[in-house]
Structure 1
């Protein structure tokens, strides 16, 4: 369980200073998030692009090229590597606002199955939901591997205005299948604890 302990520490560090804990229900965001995850699980590149931030699509070379890149990525996944099994969205942060842009950070727990083995793979990533203005729909981008330069390029309005969550984990964690549920519960408890601590610290400052 050493790997889990390292990830738990990373979660606490990554989410320190996070504000606005208990999210109100946003049905439009939740619906878009569900459809985006389904498109990813079914490897539907064209559908996945519908829910990808136009900022990221543009950086990938436009819609058609982005779809082609996603299809290539899906096609390289063989039966010899871990296959995406399910996704848990930790959707408990409130929507924040910067100018006309609404945004929200959503930690994701990615669960993968290793073919022919009794092992599972757990990864954690940072998803950012973005609604550019009142008339636009919610779109998403995974910012977990983005460095400061890439974040500033894709999100120039946010530069020096907000603190982005730190990378949640460097490498996925490989665990025996029987340890999956307790490991997931530990991760969810760690997320709850980190956000509750951040909320308490924010209230103290105010």
Structure 2
């Protein structure tokens, strides 16, 4: 069942590249999200952080501090036996306009090897562009709801809907 779900998610990503609700902008969003995901997997934290929303970077103490903290967090994951394998993305939602920004959401799927098997975590991501879709910044919502995210980023539109979180999928290693 989990394999079917992952296959469905991968097919959704392919479909999003070819016929998204936002036309060519879907491809731009997903291309930049993919670059962020590849930087994440490659442990290129400087490149990874450049895709973070400026408000989040500021709250983390600036780019250098965020890079340092991100690196430390992922070293701690590795020490616990977690290895990040792949990051993929679902299709973006319809873009809404608010306070001169384009905003949408999509699902991020992070595959990781953990002791005992493979875990796929699903999280909602908010994408924001303040230059008519040329550059996109991403905000991982984790377990936060739309109201909590608006406290963090007040410019988020009330029309921006965060889907219900999806629980992780675990595939146990064969014994």
Same fold (TM over 0.5): yes
> Could you tell me which residue of structure 1 aligns to residue 10 of structure 2?
none
> Could you tell me which residue of structure 2 aligns to residue 28 of structure 1?
28
- Total equivalences in the alignment: 157
Equivalent pair of 2:28/2:134 in contact (CA under 8 Å): no
Give the superposition deviation at 1:135: 7.9
Q: Are the structure 2 counterparts of residues 51 and 134 from structure 1 closer, same or farther at C-alpha, using a change threshold of 3 Å?
A: same
> Could you tell me which residue of structure 2 aligns to residue 175 of structure 1?
171
More strand by share: 2
Tell me: higher relative CO, structure 1 or 2? Use CA pairs within 8 A at least 6 residues apart: 1
Residues 1:51 and 2:51 are matched in the alignment: yes
Deviations 1:160-205 (A, max 9, x none): 4443333322xx3321368xxxxxxxxxxxxxxxxxxxxxxxxxxx
| Structure 1 counterpart of 2:150, from 137, 142, 152 | 152
TM-score, length-scaled by structure 2:
0.75
Give the superposition deviation at 1:53: 0.8
Equivalent pair of 2:38/2:87 in contact (CA under 8 Å): no
More helix by share: 1
Give the superposition deviation at 1:99: 3.3
Which whole-Å CA distance do the structure 1 matches of 2:143 and 2:59 have between them?
A: 15
| Alignment gaps of 5+ in structure 1 | 8-20, 179-206
TM-score, length-scaled by structure 1:
0.65
Instruction: Pick the structure with greater CA Rg.
Output: 1
| Alignment gaps of 5+ in structure 2 | 6-19
